[in-house]
Structure 1
Amino acid sequence: MQIYSIETGNFKCDGGAMFGVVPKFMWNKKYPADENNLCDCALRSMLVVDGDRRILIDNGTGDKQAASYTSHYHLWGDDTLQSSLNRLGFGFEDITDVIFTHLHFDHCGGATRYKTGTKELELVFPNATHWVSKTQWENYLNPNVREGDSYFPENMMPIFEAGKLNLVEEDGELFRNVEVRQFNGHTTGLLAVLVHDEDKTIAFTADFIPTLANVNLKWIAAYDLFPTVVLREKEAFLKEAVEKNYILFFQHDIQYECCSLEETPRGIKPKESFKLESLF
Structure 2
Amino acid sequence: MTHDAPHLDTTTAHPARRYNYWLGGKDNFAADRASADAIERVFPHIRTAARENRAFLQRAVRILIAAGVRQFLDIGTGLPTADNTHEVAQQLAPDARVVYVDNDPLVMVHARALLTSSPEGRTAYIEADLREPARILGHPQLAGTLDLSKPVALMLVATLHFLSDDQQPYTAVKQLVDRLVPGSYLAATHATTDFLDAQTQAALVAQNNDIIARDREQFTRFFTGLDLVEPGVEVITNWRPDPGVTMPPPEHVSMYGALARIPGITKPGDSR
Say which structure, 1 or 2, has more relative contact order (CA 8 Å, 6+ apart). Answer: 2
TM over 0.5: no
Give the TM-score normalised by the residue count of structure 2. Answer: 0.37
Give the TM-score normalised by the residue count of structure 1. Answer: 0.36
